[in-house]
Amino acid sequence: MYDWLIVGAGFAGSVLAERLATQHDARVLVIDRRPHIAGNAYDCPNEAGVLIHQYGPHIFHTNSESVFDYLSAFTEWRPYEHRVLGVVDGREVPIPINRTTLNELYGLSLATEEEAAAFLATRAEPVARIRTSEDVVVSVVGRELYEKFFRGYTRKQWGVDPSELDKSVTARVPTRTNTDDRYFTDKFQAMPLHGYTKMFERMLDHPNIVVRTGVDFVDIRDQVDFRQLIFTGPIDEYYDYRFGRLPYRSLRFEHVTLDKEWHQGVATVNYPQTEVYTRITEYKHLTGQSHPKTSLTYEYPSAEGDPYYPIPRDENQEMFRKYQMLAKDDPDVHFVGRLATYRYYNMDQVVGQALATFKRIDEMTRMRPAMLRSFGTTAHAVEDRLTAQ
């Protein structure tokens, strides 16, 4: 008998397995239907020996000291600040748009933040009510830069025009008037020194944790004895798609190895205009590996395939809310992670969510014996009372 069955060995499942095993001395079975641990963050040496990310580039960045400290118990870090170039009208320019981008694209010599802001102000088009992704961008940088940088990229990525997408999709993309060319500005920016998979191996290395990969929950749910369940897979799948399938956008990854040391100047080059792929990533920039060959991944957005990006539309959130209501009636099942909560989360956010879930479980476990005594009732009724609070 296991105390916990954890479905999914990505960040959500592995953090919870580690916490429950080390802090509660619980017996934990972790399963994943993929043939490996680490979920989407899985990395491995390819046939040439170059360390690649199987599911596209994963760059770690966070403002949360507690998340960074927690993960630091399982890895050393390689300082790394991500930089992205975009090929626009045949030139490579910094992304997000900054003062250098404007100067290079328009042959200008804007020298101060004020000058860059004044230039953007002459281009920006006022939008009375910002509803869509197009509105967000046009209102800040104007239609021409929107067309060059955002429209084509978003159409490729999402399969629809930005004018039909919720404002949240491009709201996160900053525009800078200084020359900071870092993609992220978080306090902590680093890559696990020996890769993500090695970090997960250390997280899951505990005598109380059993890991089985290549195992799907549906095939074992009635064969394994467990007290409580943590489910980090798709919530609609757990409930047999009762209200329909939650829509996702997917990606096809084309991994390529070249017989030369370097291919491009930075880790990621975006192609916001005519190419079918959205970006090319060269891993050695991320990992710091020295190797005479180099490996790249081309990303091709697609409607079919693994679920990667929840599609932000009101009707999809409505469907998710129906599944959430079902989950409320299942107090012994904890839904954690990006697929179970139908949200695009970065890795640090999922670690934070998993640590917060552990805290709730921990509090409940501490309260349960006392409440059982005081109410003289069943564990389920106690959970109901606690969940309702």
Ligand X SMILES: Cc1cc2nc3c(=O)[nH]c(=O)nc-3n(C[C@H](O)[C@H](O)[C@H](O)COP(=O)(O)OP(=O)(O)OC[C@H]3O[C@@H](n4cnc5c(N)ncnc54)[C@H](O)[C@@H]3O)c2cc1C
Name the residues that contact ligand X, by CB under 6 A.
Answer: 7-13, 31-34, 39-41, 55-59, 216-217, 232-233, 251, 308, 337-339, 345-348, 350
Indicate the SS3 state at residue 158: helix
Buried b (16+ CB within 10 A) or exposed e, 13-46: bbbbbbbbbeebebbbbbbbbbeebbbbbbbeeb
Rounded distance, CA 347 to CA 344, Å?
A: 10
CB of 209 to ligand X, least distance (A): 16
Cβ burial, residue 340 (10 Å; 0-12/13-18/19+): buried
**Rounded to whole angstroms, what are the CA distances from 52 to 75, 161, 189, 235?**
18, 32, 19, 29
Task: For ligand X, give the closer residue by CB, 324 or 346.
Answer: 346
CB atoms within 10 A of CB 112: 11
CB of 82 to ligand X, least distance (A): 8
Task: For ligand X, give the closer residue by CB, 105 or 203.
Answer: 203
Q: For 354-382, give the DSSP string.
A: HHHHHHHHHHHHHHHHHHHHHH---HHHH
Retrieve residue 378's tokens.
């069943």
Task: For ligand X, give the closer residue by CB, 30 or 105.
Answer: 30
Task: For ligand X, give the closer residue by CB, 166 or 299.
Answer: 299
DSSP H or E segment with residue 322? helix 314-328
Retrieve residue 85's tokens.
């170039």
Task: For ligand X, give the closer residue by CB, 285 or 338.
Answer: 338
CB of 180 to ligand X, least distance (A): 19
Task: For ligand X, give the closer residue by CB, 148 or 279.
Answer: 279
Is the preceding peptide bond at 96 cis, omega within 30 degrees of 0? yes
